[in-house]
């Protein structure tokens, strides 16, 4: 019979053994006080993020240990452990790429197969991206935007394409299309070295989304007209333009123009995933429209796709 966890202690964890004991207690206790989940998340996060030097930078070893500890057949099966994973990403200044990818994959598991802690209580529908899942995806992507992680990575983009592919026939929440287009635009435009805006700016919810019509067509017509200007502005200046940024912006203009050009590797990656043997999906059309208008030179590998965009 499991024990009851009462008031949580306040001392931090000093060793991995203490952290593992806390996981064991969380797994075996059947009666937990309301304060326990918050304490558990904060205590383990503090150990992972701050106990090794330099503080705030998660080592490959600690990332691997966390994934192994919270995984059951490759998936997180506890809401508390999922919150721990995301909270670790949010608190760290920098973390290994596989930690962000693993967190995104947990959402993909719920979206595609209906597996994992997101499905507890039966509130979410397998094969459909609901607003709650988009909010969690956005939170994970924002969290990984620490030192040196401004642009969306290829691994992250792969997971987003997987979700898009598996839910293409579903009536996904419109916020999914907004996030998909902005995240993929960030990847293909910035991976060549463009000094991108912060993830918060690149992926923010713009006002045009709040005003969009419920129909998907109305949403995308706004995105590629008035909404597009808001997206592109994020790639040309910080969120709040101040005098001290002006010289930096001018100095970066040449780099930005060069890196806005999608190179061969990025073009092939995108062309392989969208393909030319099927009709474009609405959010893929919006992404290609953004690329067509924003990039001064288009690689030949993308031309067959861009020819489909009016």
Q: Annotate 28-43 with b (16+ C-beta within 10 A) or e (fewer).
A: eeeebeeebbebbbeb
Structure confidence at residue 231 (pLDDT): 59
Q: Which range, of 156-160, 169-173, 202-206, averages the lowest pLDDT?
A: 202-206
* Peptide bond before residue 180 is cis, with ω within 30 degrees of 0: no
Sequence ranges of the domains in the chain:
150-310
Crossing angle between the packed helical segments 264-274 and 154-166, to the nearest 10 degrees: 20
The pLDDT > 70 percentage for the chain reads 66
**Per-residue pLDDT tens for 94-137?**
888 889 899 999 999 888 887 777 765 556 678 889 888 998 99
Mean pLDDT of the chain: 75
CB 99 within 8 A of CB 140: no
**Per-residue pLDDT tens for 241-269?**
444 444 445 444 544 444 455 677 778 88
Strand-pairing partners, residue 31, are 4
pLDDT band per the 50, 70, 90 thresholds, residue 26? confident
Nearest to 203 by CA among 258, 149, 265: 149
- CA-to-CA distance for 166 and 169, rounded, in angstroms? 8
Structure confidence at residue 239 (pLDDT): 43
In sequence order, what DSSP letters do the residues of the chain get, joined into one string?
Answer: -PPEE-SPP-PPP-SHHHHHHHHHHHHH-SEE-TTHHHHHHHHHHHHHHHSSSSTTB--HHHHHHHHHHHEETTEE--HHHHHHHHHHHHH-SB--HHHHHHHHHHHHHHHHH--SGGGTTS-S-TT---HHHHHHHHHHHHHT-STT--SPPHHHHHHHHHHHHHTTTS---HHHHHHHHHHHHHHHHHTTS--PPPHHHHT---HHHHH--SSHHHHHHHHTTHHHHHHHHHTTS-SS--HHHHHHHHHHHHHHHHHTS--HHHHHHHHHHH-SSSPPPHHHHHHHHHHHHH-SS--GGGHHHHTT--
pLDDT band per the 50, 70, 90 thresholds, residue 144? confident
- CA-to-CA distance for 196 and 191, rounded, in angstroms? 9
Of residues 87 and 206, more confidence is placed in: 87
pLDDT at 6 over 80: no
Residue keyed to tokens 């070295």: 193
CB 227 within 8 A of CB 206: yes
When pLDDT is averaged across residues 65-84 and rounded to a whole number, the result is: 88
- pTM, entire model: 0.76
Phi, psi of 262 (to 5 degrees): -75, 125
Structure confidence at residue 307 (pLDDT): 83
pLDDT band per the 50, 70, 90 thresholds, residue 236? low
Q: Which of 1-10, 26-35, 170-179, 241-250 has the highest mean pLDDT?
A: 170-179
Residue 150: count of CB within 10 angstroms of its CB: 19
Of residues 6 and 161, more confidence is placed in: 161
Q: Considering only CA atoms, give the Rg of the chain.
A: 21
**Per-residue pLDDT tens for 191-222?**
544 455 667 766 766 543 344 334 434 445 55
């Amino acid at each position: 019979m499991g024990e009851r966890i009462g008031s949580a202690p306040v001392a931090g964890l000093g060793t991995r053994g203490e952290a593992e004991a806390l996981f064991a207690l969380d797994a075996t206790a059947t009666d937990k006080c309301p304060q326990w989940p918050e304490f558990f998340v904060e205590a383990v996060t503090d150990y992972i993020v701050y106990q090794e030097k330099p503080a705030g930078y998660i080592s490959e070893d600690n990332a691997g240990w966390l994934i192994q500890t919270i995984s059951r057949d490759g998936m997180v099966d506890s809401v508390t452990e999922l919150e721990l994973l995301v909270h670790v990403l949010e608190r760290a200044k920098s973390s290994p790429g596989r930690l962000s990818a693993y967190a995104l994959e947990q959402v993909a598991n719920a979206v595609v197969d209906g597996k994992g802690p997101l499905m507890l209580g039966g509130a979410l529908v397998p094969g459909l991206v609901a607003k709650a899942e988009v909010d969690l995806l956005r939170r994970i992507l924002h969290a990984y935007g620490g030192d040196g992680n401004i642009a969306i990575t290829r691994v992250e983009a792969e997971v987003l394409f997987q979700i898009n592919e598996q839910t293409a026939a579903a009536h996904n929440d419109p916020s999914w299309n907004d996030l998909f287009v902005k995240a993929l635009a960030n990847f293909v435009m910035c991976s060549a070295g463009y000094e991108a805006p912060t993830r918060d700016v690149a992926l923010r919810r713009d006002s045009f989304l709040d005003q969009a019509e419920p129909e998907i067509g109305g949403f995308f017509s706004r995105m590629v007209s008035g909404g597009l200007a808001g997206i592109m502005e994020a790639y040309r200046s910080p969120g709040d333009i101040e005098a001290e940024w002006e010289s930096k912006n001018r100095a970066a203009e040449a780099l930005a123009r060069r890196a806005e050009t999608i190179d061969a590797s990025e073009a092939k990656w995108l062309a392989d995933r969208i393909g030319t043997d099927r009709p474009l999906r609405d959010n893929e059309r919006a992404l290609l429209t953004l690329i067509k208008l924003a990039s001064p030179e288009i690689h030949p590998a993308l031309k067959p796709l861009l020819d489909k965009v009016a």
